[in-house]
Chains A and B, each alone.
Chain A
Amino acid sequence: MIDDDFVKALLEKCSYLSLRHREDCLTLDCPADSLIEFSRHLRDEETFDLLVDLTAVDHGETADTRFSVVLHFYSLIHRTYLRAHIACADNEAPEIPSISSVFPAANWHERETFDMFGIKFTDHPNLKRILMWDEYPYFPLRKEFPLAGIDVPLPAADVAEVTGAEVDPAPMMGGPFVSSGNGRMSDAEPRAKDESWTEESIKGS
């Protein structure tokens, strides 16, 4: 079981760790340069051998430490979770070591986190976008990225050049729902467009 003794022993064995809280599961802060050592220790010594989730949180453009990566481990012996927070030092070019050599499951999770937040995982075997296409220029889950999206050129430049095709506007624009995309949250919600018309007023396009 995860009790006080376990936490104390873990913190002694891995002196670089610090306890954050134990509200829903044991939550630890780990410095980025000790991450590989820590994850290997968790897997081999503490039986937390299932990496269930790896993601990041953007704390906003004004935060001191803007990006932190959050990992969730599960132990088949203790039957419980363990969470680790890793702060990314550089706010402009966030970077942390990849743990895909320890946990193959991290491979796709890290690609997704890179895709959505632009956090670089050093020594990742194949760090390219996974949900968006390779040439996509933005990181959509960063807080400054608008909900409505930003128009970008067609992915395949060679096709666009020959066919002269432009990228279509985002599907919500001009559709049955309209979204202002910035300003207050309550205004940014997609809402039904006014499609009513009478004999006097013509239907809006």
Chain B
Amino acid sequence: MSTTTTKEISVGDIGARAAAHSDNERMALNVGPSHPTTHGVLRLMMELDGDVITKCDPVLGYLHRGDEKIAENMTYNQFVPYTDRLDYLAPLANNVAYALTVENLAGIEVPARCQAIRVLVCEMARISSHLLGMGVFGMDAGAWTPFMYTFTEREKLYTLFEELTGARFTTSYTRIGGVARDIPEGWLPRVEKFCDQLPKAIDEVEKLLTRNRIFLDRTEGIGAISKDRAIAYGLTGPNLRASGVDLDLRKDKPYSGYDQYEFDVPIGTKGDCYDRYLVRIEEVRQSILIIKQVIASFPGGPWYCEDAKKIFAPPKEKIMTSMEELIQNFMIVTEGPQVPPGEVYFEAENPKGALGFYLVSKGGGVPYRLKIRAPSFCNLSILEELAPGHMLSDITVILGSLDFVMGECDR
């Protein structure tokens, strides 16, 4: 014989709360934190007047891991895997940005081959990120098919990433003063082959979206950000350039040898959702050009800093046979790469915008403070001003066009 017990659970007096609401005509709507529109765990608390948004209050922090605290408690190389998980759609670009920050403070410059590898992987990461950005943007606007095309291409990229780094997603490819390993044999021709067939796939996506009547109606004139507002809110990357601001750190503050390659920086005119889409499409095409130039002029020589004895661990076979290299490796693994005291701020042009690291060192192998300036965080901050006045259905398109990643927003 079993008895059933029931227990009433009430969470305050909901009726009283609703009555206390200042304006009964307005409706409060909560979107997220787990909702397909929000591309992750973003929560929007909105106030609606009919179908029109009157107030939008983004709530962040659902993916907060405390990366900055963790960074203060481990050596420089140990933090590389954490950078994979910032913008997890372009982990290789994050790896490179982080390594360059520490190298700037340490005052070392990696050899030409290493720089070329880094530019190559950064541009591949950009293509991968923008392919996803464009695909899901189409999906947000109601077009399912382009997503399938872009994901097919991304899959090919992931195979190439796996051949290079051993992992498809969390690559952890860079080390301070170099990269984890040299490129495998026959890899460059395979990258080139991928680049040769990619424009055709982009054309197909463009045929489905760019002059599509429904897509145009959903995106043109929606979520327009003026030049001034984009700058005032600290937007970066394609979102800033779509508003007509010519800021691309690859051109303005060239790092890792970007000044050797020729490419154009697409700029938008109106700063609406459609412009942001067009800028991303063109950036993919420019990235293909950069990759082809890198492969055509791929330098030989060492692929890591051989002089930086206290920063980059020597090759395995030398560790096993030579006492000096064994000690050198032991010191780097236990104490971390030795970086002088000082402070440095470095930003790299990542697919989502300028990913910045502010590093304060008191010497030794552990950062004293590492601030991660996440582009998605800054790009989202305009939402409070941007969303009001739009229809509820536009929120989906606006969020899709801002192309943010909560992994780096919440850190």
Chain A residues engaging chain B, CB cutoff 8 angstroms: 23-25, 27, 49-53, 55, 57-58, 70, 72, 76, 79-81, 83, 103-105, 107-108, 112, 116, 129-133, 140-141, 145, 147, 149, 156, 158-159, 162-163, 185, 188-189
Contacts and interface: CB of A to CB of B under 8 A. Distances in A.
B177 interface: no
A127 to B, nearest CB: 14
Contacts of B9: 162-163
A58 B370 CA distance: 11
Interface residues of B, number: 46
A194 to B, nearest CB: 21
A65 B124 CA distance: 45
Contacts, number: 102
Nearest to A80: B253
Q: Is the interface of B mostly helix, strand, loop or mixed?
A: mixed
B410 A131 contact: yes
Given A53-B373, A70-B358, A83-B343, 20 more contacts: A23-B344, A52-B234, A52-B347, A55-B358, A57-B360, A76-B231, A80-B253, A108-B377, A112-B377, A129-B61, A131-B60, A131-B410, A131-B411, A141-B69, A147-B69, A147-B73, A158-B12, A185-B366, A189-B73, A189-B74
A105 B345 contact: no
A162 B345 contact: no
Given A72-B345, A145-B69, A147-B73, A53 B358 contact: yes
A51 B346 CA distance: 14
Max chain A C-beta neighbours (<10 A), residue from B64, B70, B104: B64
A129 B245 CA distance: 31
Contact of A159 (B11, B252, B366): B11
Contact of A105 (B73, B371, B381): B381
A108 B385 CA distance: 13
A55 B343 CA distance: 13
A57 B369 contact: yes
A80 B253 CA distance: 8
Across the A-B interface, the 6 shortest Cβ-Cβ residue pairs: A105-B234, A131-B61, A55-B371, A108-B381, A53-B373, A131-B64
Contacts of A23: 342-344
Nearest to B253: A79
